[in-house]
Structure 1
Amino acid sequence: MPDWQPRNTSRARELRNAATPAERRLWEFLGRSGLGVKFSRQMPVGPWFADFLCRELRLVIELDGHSHDVDPDRDVRRDADLKARGYHVLHFTNADVMQDAEAVARAIQQEIEKLRR
């Protein structure tokens, strides 16, 4: 039986409340099952917080802004750990979302369709 560990839900709530403009913009497409699957925002997954998580498909969407430029090795470690846990991770930049959120949503929709096969 796996060890149960409490999730840091208070930190997740803080991150949701402090969402970036890009996160808020993408949520317009992902929220309310807008792409046909349920996504949650700022969900704890192991020691990490996924910007957006679809539990059903084990799909993590990460939006990369300035903070990701500061420690790119952290992103590599996080992605490797998430992959080891059975998650698929897609990355988009904040600029991608702000310039063309619909294109980002289409790319996510394509991944959803691929994972459903």
Structure 2
Amino acid sequence: MTTEQQEFARRLRKQSTKPEDVIWNTLRSRRLDGMKFRRQAPLLNYTVDFMCLERKLIVEIDGKQHGWERNYDAARTHEIEQHGFVVVRLTNDEVLNDFDVAIAKIRAAASP
């Protein structure tokens, strides 16, 4: 991990979106089933929204996206999964309007 990646992650943590704040409030301090999550964590050449190393689980919160962003996210997800991680993608709307379903998806992905 480079210093540049660390600085980028710090900036992202300071500029988090409302859906990221909502999810983080549940994931932080091992509040969700004792899992330890990191926020805006560098991984490979990326910065992921939330990462639980113990379960090799990544949670990404996606806003409204254009076609090129979906393609980039798909390639990024594929590369991360090639390293043994499970990636859960949630939309802003899921987090804000269907929170219980969003948390259920995270729990399901974390199950062995």
- TM > 0.5: yes
In the alignment, the residues of structure 2 paired with residue 107 and residue 83 of structure 1 have an alpha-carbon distance, to the nearest angstrom, of: 17
Higher relative contact order, structure no. (Cα contacts within 8 Å, ≥ 6 residues apart): 1
In the alignment, the residues of structure 2 paired with residue 6 and residue 71 of structure 1 have an alpha-carbon distance, to the nearest angstrom, of: 24
Does the CA contact (< 8 Å) of 2:10 and 2:40 recur in 1?
yes
Does the CA contact (< 8 Å) of 2:49 and 2:58 recur in 1?
yes
Secondary structure, aligned partner of 2:61: strand
The unaligned stretches of length 5 or more in structure 1 are none
In the alignment, the residues of structure 2 paired with residue 71 and residue 107 of structure 1 have an alpha-carbon distance, to the nearest angstrom, of: 22
Secondary structure, aligned partner of 1:71: helix
Partner residue in 2 for 1:31:
28
Deviations 1:29-81 (A, max 9, x none): 11111112000111011111110000111100011103x43521101110111
Secondary structure, aligned partner of 2:90: strand
Q: What's the TM-score once normalised by structure 1's chain length?
A: 0.86
1:15 offset after TM fit, Å? 0.4
Does the CA contact (< 8 Å) of 2:36 and 2:52 recur in 1?
yes
Deviations 1:90-117 (A, max 9, x none): 11100100002232112212222x23xx
Secondary structure, aligned partner of 2:42: strand
Kindly, what percent of the aligned residue pairs are identical? Answer: 29
In the alignment, the residues of structure 1 paired with residue 11 and residue 74 of structure 2 have an alpha-carbon distance, to the nearest angstrom, of: 24
1:28 offset after TM fit, Å? 1.3
1:12 offset after TM fit, Å? 0.2
2:11 paired residue among 14, 17, 28 = 14
Partner residue in 1 for 2:95:
97
Q: What's the TM-score once normalised by structure 2's chain length?
A: 0.89
Q: How many residues align?
A: 109
Secondary structure, aligned partner of 1:56: coil
In the alignment, the residues of structure 2 paired with residue 33 and residue 89 of structure 1 have an alpha-carbon distance, to the nearest angstrom, of: 19
In the alignment, the residues of structure 2 paired with residue 110 and residue 84 of structure 1 have an alpha-carbon distance, to the nearest angstrom, of: 20
The unaligned stretches of length 5 or more in structure 2 are none
